[in-house]
Amino acid sequence: MNEKTPMQKRAAEARHTTSVDQSNRRVPINLRQSGPTPVELLISTRVRKSPYWHLSYESDCWQATIYNRMYHPRAHIPKEQGGVMAEYDALVNHVAMWNVAVERQIQVKGPDAEKFVDFVITRPANIIKPMRGKYVILCNEEGGIMNDPVLLRIAEDEFWFSISDSDIEFWLRGVNIGKGFDVTIAEIDVCPVQIQGPKSEALMTDLFGSAVSDIPFYGLMEGTLNGANVIISQTGFSGEKGYEIYCLEATLNAEKVWYGVLEAGEKHNLKVTAVAHHRRIAAGILSWGQDVDQEVSPFQCNLAYQVPKDKEGDYIGKAALEKARVQIEAGASPYPLGMVGIVFGGEPVIDYANDFWLIYGEEGDDAVGYVTSPWYSPELETNIALCHVPWNGRDVGTKYRVALPTEFGGEVVEAEVVSIPFRPSVNPNSREVEKSRTSAPVS
């Protein structure tokens, strides 16, 4: 047989083979063919620029990915200057601005807005009052997580889904074709930036006045910045104190908001950085499409608190979720895998993992799980990760082994299940949520 060419060898290495039990899935999550590619990727008109994209580029963005079919900044500080770990320092010690326009805003508006929203989310919509928000999940009829947005209630008859990486607008429209609620559903010209870090409140106060300090966690406030109308929320994807500035008519006003923040941020040592996945992992915050997707149940990934027993009326996925709850409470294992947090050895993981790393038991050659989100924690001085392991092997203290890829040392290293979050959120108002995420899988 002829010797393989370098291209054939690279192709063979990219082929996933695994024994992980994912019998409840149609498409095994770690067989979605992620990872590096030896070919040049074509960028075409299918990919959108956000109103902030040129501003991110102007702010030294040198790496990006695609999220919600938009360019999404992934690095600003060069590797030779510390890279994303230097960006981490800016976040946890000062204040950072992130271009998160990829969180497209899907507006549901009309007389039946609350009824419609109540039907598509697992939590009661009526607990969200005007000018308030909540982290919510939307499930399909099988109980899989379709999206996990922040849901903003702008008015009695208007909600904005600040979505994660899936085309939930199309799904919402499809749902309403069958249900006929009196609402309109559409993406709107609103784009957020996130202001995150311990100096975020001081910066936001300089921009919008002392009323910022009165915004509760997930509270909203109207404001203006350089003549641009905005909505401010006390939310974020970091576990640090933080806010989001939703720029209205963003295609016209993006520069007003961006430059206004930059100018006010100078005295607070503001840095424009990428979204800090290393910090959100430590806080136990999930990333849709990476940690969970439409074939993962909230009971598998510490989101049981999002499925209250006492929600009145029907919603999409309720029957499947209640059936799973009964099975779990009876001691059954409705899923082969469940999500946990682990600490693991090896060299510090200080760059994005481009694939799902396999997990093995203490003994044996068959893989039993996979890592979804790994990174190095400077505070804990160890590598940490969110991952999926056997349902009956989720107890804190359970030992595993993680197979690191070549670019991260190529070793098989020891790992151990620990409590999530790895590091508490700075915002005291979120501790109740975090407590529920570390509790038993059914609440």
pLDDT digits (tens, 9 = 90+) for 228-242: 999 999 999 999 999
- Mean pLDDT of all residues in 10-33: 72
Return the pLDDT at 400.
98
Q: Which residues contact 263 (CB under 8 A, 6 or more apart)?
A: none
Return the pLDDT at 436.
34
Return the pLDDT at 1.
52
Strand partners, 343: 384, 416
Please give the backbone phi and psi of residue 42, each rounded to the nearest 5 degrees, phi first. Answer: -85, 130
CATH number of 190-268, picked from 1.10.940.10, 2.40.400.10, 3.30.1360.120, 3.40.50.720? 3.30.1360.120
Return the pLDDT at 15.
62
Secondary structure string (H, E, C) spanning the chain: CCCCCHHHHHHHHCCCCCCCCCCCCCCCHHHCCCCCCCCCCCCCCCCECCCCHHHHHHCCCCEEEEECCEEEEEECCCHHHCHHHHHHHHHHHCEEEEECCCCCEEEEECCCHHHHHHHHCCCCHHHCCCCEEEECCEECCCCCEEECCEEEEEECCEEEEECCCCCHHHHHHHHHHHHCCCCEEEECCEEEEEEECCCHHHHHHHHHCHHHHHCCCCEEEEEEECCEEEEEECCCCCCCCEEEEEEECHHHHHHHHHHHHHHHHHHHCEEECCCCHHHHHHCCCCCECCCECCCCCHHHCCCHHHCCCCCCCCCCCHHHHHHHHHHHHCCCCCCCEEEEEEEECCCCCCCCCCCCEEEECCCCCCEEEEEEEEEEECCCCEEEEEEEEEHHHCCCCCEEEEECCHHHCCCEEEEEEECCCCCCCCCHHHHHHHHHHCCCCCC
Return the pLDDT at 16.
65
- Domain limits, CATH 3.30.1360.120, in the chain: 190-268, 286-437
Return the pLDDT at 119.
98
For the stretch 388-443, pLDDT in tens is: 999 999 999 999 999 998 888 889 999 999 999 998 877 654 433 433 333 333 33
CA atoms 217, 220, 221, 227: torsion sign: positive
* Residue 384 and residue 422 in contact, taking contact as beta carbons nearer than 8 Å: yes
- Structure token digits, residue 55: 């501003």
* Residue 298 and residue 321 in contact, taking contact as beta carbons nearer than 8 Å: yes
If one compares 406 and 259, the residue with the highest pLDDT of the two is 259
Q: Rounded CA gap, 141 and 61, in Å?
A: 40
Q: Which of 40, 83, 35 is CA-nearest to residue 353?
A: 35
Place of tokens 């396999």: 358
For the stretch 89-147, pLDDT in tens is: 999 999 999 999 999 999 999 999 999 999 999 999 999 999 999 999 999 999 999 99
- Mean pLDDT of all residues in 324-343: 95
Sheet of 132-135: strand order equals 132-135, 150-155, 158-162, 105-109, 184-187
Q: Rounded CA gap, 238 and 276, in Å?
A: 7
Q: Rounded CA gap, 441 and 427, in Å?
A: 24
Query: What is the Cα Rg of the chain in Å?
Result: 22
* Residue 225 and residue 140 in contact, taking contact as beta carbons nearer than 8 Å: no
Q: What is the dihedral of CA 174, 169, 69, 193, to 10 degrees?
A: -170
Return the pLDDT at 427.
62
CATH fold of 286-437 = Gyrase A; domain 2 (3.30.1360)
- Mean pLDDT of all residues in 243-248: 98
The CA distances from residue 329 to 81, 243, 299, 438, in Å, are 51, 38, 11, 17
pTM of the full predicted structure?
0.92
Q: Is 82 left (phi over 0), alpha (psi -120 to 50) or beta?
A: left
For the stretch 41-57, pLDDT in tens is: 888 899 999 999 999 99
Peptide bond into 51 cis (omega under 30): no
CA atoms 277, 236, 191, 79: torsion sign: negative
Mean pLDDT of the chain: 91
Return the pLDDT at 435.
34
Q: Rounded CA gap, 375 and 111, in Å?
A: 45
